[in-house]
């Protein structure tokens, strides 16, 4: 298990190799990246087995006082800073460690990242085939995976922050991968800047922890929260700052605006980074530092409210979007909001379980959308229909993903969403459960819309001769489809030693899978109604879209314009930020530059210009000056001696 740090190292090592030698390698270096992540996945399996066999007696392992789970931590000194103290018994140097922390949360994240990444990389072989920057694509991909794995493994905030920024960089590079397109460039910049706003909060939060605890170690921070070194008020401040970073990465309101635009990147990138892994990093972060949030209490309420607003708002936008990838993007935002809501409702297990179920399902959906796009070059769902006749495999797998996210029983999304509903029902006021059920209903409805509008109904003549996905793409979708289909079953209490995910991945207390009958039935009924409604509206067209639109014109246009949040930001930037910037720029030019910097220089130059005039070159003027000087000196002497 102490070799788990090698998991990201494989991919890190692959990056320079692909960049330098990609041109000469077979497959332009792509096998190297796939091999690296496959090695990571294999090593993850070994680590997982090792962890299962570990006990609190194993070296480096103990049952954590703060999370209640078996936690194994291995760390080394990263570097030391400062001079040793004057007295030899006190070492005043700053010791910074880097290390790995393995607990169930890390393990599930590692599993999700390595598996989805492997699938997406194999899929990309087909999808990116013939791209002019094929090697670069795999290099960025490998770098992203390495950074993301480091993020999941990190046992201290500093390493986490480094990895956090690295995934942000890779996200920027991959969104703007087709930088010939202006939209891709703009989207990349937007993603980078918006997430950076949250990252500032994260950095300040980490520095606050350093100030309070004197260490970047997560365990030390939890200890400080537990023992009261960090007061409850301070814990709230820190938790909210960390949540700002999480909200930026996980596209939570009001920092969600970058994720829909990020769909300008290649679709496999959207599947890996903007659906399954990187955007889940925010949820992971909140779960990772859950003891701080729990100590605060108020911060959890903020998380829940933000999560609810995000999930409900994004679900309504997803319902009216016409671009297939954007529907999926808003669906991602909505489900990330659900995970945050669940964390805010003490549904730790439910949130992480939903993270996994959503990761697999959404990656599948994106790969399916990519397959559609690859074959038809079309993303507008209004221009698609009946594709199941020409792309049966993609249609089947996409439908599995859609049904899973929509919450149809037996599929993965049903179980995780149900867990969230139970947590929300148990711990939050009734208004939350009502709105969450509404979100769940909308979630099923927009998934039904995407699925039926694309794959059912009339086949368009221009799509009659398109082909289904090539083998590399089909196989990966198939494997993800199996997971989307059956993954939820791991939550159940099976006969035998396995007692459900709640006994493996939990916070403080192991919990059995709890299934509240009325909630399960209600959510199932809602999901089924939504899918039937979707079928009638978008496949059979029994209910006219125009009539609904006519009756709900005002809310629909509000949602279609994404609640004008982009416009609001643009307005604020134009009017407030740019005005302020113009003023500061003016201040810089007029005061800092002209007065403070150029002022003394100009003064000296003018003095020089004026004073050099006395050097006339005429001997008589020098003689006159000497004479006058002598007379003045004589006068001074005379007056002094007279007095």
Partner 1 sequence: MTPLVYFQLLSAALFVIGLYGVMARRSAVLIIMSIELMLNAVNINLIAAASHLEGIGGFVNFDGQIIAIFVITIAAAELGLAIAIILRMHRNRGTVDVDEMNLMKW
Q: Which residues bind partner 1 (CB under 8 A)?
A: 612-613, 615-620, 623-624, 627
- CB nearer to partner 1: give 465 or 612: 612
Least Å distance, CB 619 to partner 1, is: 4
Least Å distance, CB 616 to partner 1, is: 7
- CB nearer to partner 1: give 495 or 617: 617
Cβ atoms within 10 Å of 615's Cβ, excluding its own? 9
- Helix, coil or strand: residue 630: helix
* Alpha carbon distances (Å) from 479 to 13, 45, 113, 116, 485: 27, 17, 15, 10, 10
Contacts of 40 (CB under 8 A, 6+ apart): 7, 8, 10, 11, 114, 117, 145, 149
- CB nearer to partner 1: give 568 or 623: 623
Spatial separation of the C-alpha atoms in residues 323 and 329, rounded to whole Å: 10
Tell me the CB-side half-sphere exposure of residue 304, using CA atoms within 13 A: 27
Least Å distance, CB 586 to partner 1, is: 38
Strands (E), 360-506: none
Least Å distance, CB 643 to partner 1, is: 24
Contacts of 1 (CB under 8 A, 6+ apart): 47, 50, 51, 54, 58, 60, 61, 72, 74, 102
CA-based nearest residue to 55, from 64, 46, 47, 63:
63
- CB nearer to partner 1: give 83 or 619: 619
Least Å distance, CB 189 to partner 1, is: 54
Mutual angle of helices 392-406 and 430-455, in 10-degree steps? 170
- CB nearer to partner 1: give 183 or 625: 625
Cβ atoms within 10 Å of 247's Cβ, excluding its own? 30
Q: Are 424 and 350 in contact (CB under 8 A)?
A: no
Least Å distance, CB 617 to partner 1, is: 3
- CB nearer to partner 1: give 467 or 618: 618
- Helix, coil or strand: residue 523: helix
Least Å distance, CB 94 to partner 1, is: 58
- CB nearer to partner 1: give 532 or 624: 624
- CB nearer to partner 1: give 582 or 628: 628
Cβ atoms within 10 Å of 553's Cβ, excluding its own? 10
Q: Are 266 and 102 in contact (CB under 8 A)?
A: no
- Helix, coil or strand: residue 232: helix
Cβ atoms within 10 Å of 91's Cβ, excluding its own? 12
b/e per residue 149-166 (b: at least 16 CB within 10 A) = bbbbbbbbbbbbbebbbb
Least Å distance, CB 629 to partner 1, is: 13
- CB nearer to partner 1: give 571 or 622: 622
Least Å distance, CB 621 to partner 1, is: 9
Least Å distance, CB 623 to partner 1, is: 5
Prior bond of 90 cis (ω within 30°): no
- Helix, coil or strand: residue 128: coil
Least Å distance, CB 620 to partner 1, is: 4
Spatial separation of the C-alpha atoms in residues 619 and 41, rounded to whole Å: 92
Q: Are 332 and 251 in contact (CB under 8 A)?
A: yes
Q: Are 246 and 290 in contact (CB under 8 A)?
A: no
Least Å distance, CB 638 to partner 1, is: 16
- Helix, coil or strand: residue 118: helix
Least Å distance, CB 632 to partner 1, is: 15
- CB nearer to partner 1: give 392 or 629: 629
- CB nearer to partner 1: give 81 or 619: 619
- CB nearer to partner 1: give 575 or 606: 606
- CB nearer to partner 1: give 518 or 620: 620
Burial class (CB in 10 A: 0-12, 13-18, 19+), 69: middle
Least Å distance, CB 633 to partner 1, is: 16
- CB nearer to partner 1: give 545 or 623: 623
- CB nearer to partner 1: give 52 or 624: 624
Spatial separation of the C-alpha atoms in residues 112 and 116, rounded to whole Å: 6
Burial class (CB in 10 A: 0-12, 13-18, 19+), 143: buried
CA-based nearest residue to 10, from 48, 43, 58:
43
Least Å distance, CB 179 to partner 1, is: 57
């Amino acid at each position: 298990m102490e070799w788990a740090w090698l998991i990201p190292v494989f991919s890190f090592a692959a990056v320079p190799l692909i960049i330098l030698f990609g041109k000469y390698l077979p497959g332009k270096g792509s096998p190297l990246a796939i091999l690296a992540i496959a090695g990571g996945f294999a090593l993850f399996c070994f680590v997982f087995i090792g962890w299962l066999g570990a006990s609190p007696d194993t070296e480096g392992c103990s049952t954590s006082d703060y999370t209640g789970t078996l936690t194994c931590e291995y760390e080394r000194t990263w570097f030391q800073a400062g001079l040793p103290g004057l007295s030899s018994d006190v070492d005043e140097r700053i010791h910074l460690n880097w290390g790995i922390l393995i607990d169930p949360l890390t393990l599930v994240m590692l599993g999700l990242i390595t598996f989805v990444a492997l699938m997406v990389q194999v899929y990309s072989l087909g999808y990116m085939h013939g791209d002019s920057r094929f090697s670069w694509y795999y290099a960025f991909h490998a770098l992203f995976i390495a950074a993301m794995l480091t993020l999941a493994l990190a046992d201290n905030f500093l390493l986490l922050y480094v990895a956090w920024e690295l995934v942000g960089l890779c996200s920027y590079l991959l969104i703007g991968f087709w930088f010939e397109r202006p939209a891709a460039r703009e989207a990349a910049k937007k993603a980078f800047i918006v997430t950076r706003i949250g990252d500032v909060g994260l950095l300040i939060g980490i520095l606050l922890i350093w100030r309070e605890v004197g260490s970047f170690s997560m365990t030390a921070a939890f200890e400080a929260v537990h023992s009261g070194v960090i007061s409850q008020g301070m814990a709230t401040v820190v938790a909210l700052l960390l949540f700002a970073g999480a909200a930026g990465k996980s596209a939570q309101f009001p920092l969600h605006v970058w994720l829909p635009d990020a769909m300008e990147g290649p679709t496999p990138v959207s599947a890996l980074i903007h659906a399954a892994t990187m955007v889940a990093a925010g949820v992971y972060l909140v779960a990772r530092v859950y003891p701080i949030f729990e100590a605060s209490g108020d911060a959890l309420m903020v998380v829940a409210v933000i999560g609810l607003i995000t999930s409900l708002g994004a679900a309504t936008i997803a319902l009216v979007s016409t671009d297939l990838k954007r529907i999926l993007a808003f669906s991602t935002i909505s489900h990330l909001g659900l995970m945050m809501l669940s964390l805010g409702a003490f549904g730790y297990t439910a949130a992480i379980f939903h993270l996994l179920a959503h990761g697999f399902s959404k990656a599948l959906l994106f790969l399916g959308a990519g397959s559609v796009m690859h074959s038809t070059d079309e993303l507008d769902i209004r221009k698609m229909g009946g594709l199941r006749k020409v792309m049966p495999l993609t249609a089947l797998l996409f439908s599995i993903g859609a049904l899973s996210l929509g919450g149809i029983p037996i599929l993965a999304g049903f179980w995780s969403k149900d867990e969230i509903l139970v947590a929300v029902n148990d711990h939050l006021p009734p208004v939350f459960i009502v709105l969450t059920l509404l979100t769940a209903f909308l979630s099923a409805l927009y998934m039904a819309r995407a699925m039926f509008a694309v794959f059912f109904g009339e086949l368009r003549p221009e799509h009659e001769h398109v082909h289904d996905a090539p083998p590399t793409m089909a196989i990966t979708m198939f494997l993800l489809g199996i997971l989307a289909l059956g993954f939820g079953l791991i939550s159940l209490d099976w006969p035998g030693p396995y007692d459900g995910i709640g006994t493996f991945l939990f916070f403080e207390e192991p919990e059995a899978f709890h299934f509240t009958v009325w909630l399960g039935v209600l959510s199932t009924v809602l999901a089924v109604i939504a899918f039937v409604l979707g079928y009638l509206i978008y496949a059979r067209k029994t209910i006219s879209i125009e009539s609904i639109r006519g009756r709900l014109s005002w809310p629909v246009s509000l949602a279609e314009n994404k609640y004008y949040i982009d416009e609001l930001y643009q307005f604020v930037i134009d009017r407030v930020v740019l005005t302020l910037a113009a003023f500061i720029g003016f201040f810089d030019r007029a005061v800092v530059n002209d007065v403070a910097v150029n002022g003394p220089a100009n003064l000296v130059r003018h003095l020089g210009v004026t004073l050099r005039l006395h050097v006339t070159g005429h001997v008589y003027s020098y003689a006159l000056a000497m004479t006058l000087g002598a007379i003045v000196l004589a006068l001074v002497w005379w007056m002094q001696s007279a007095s």
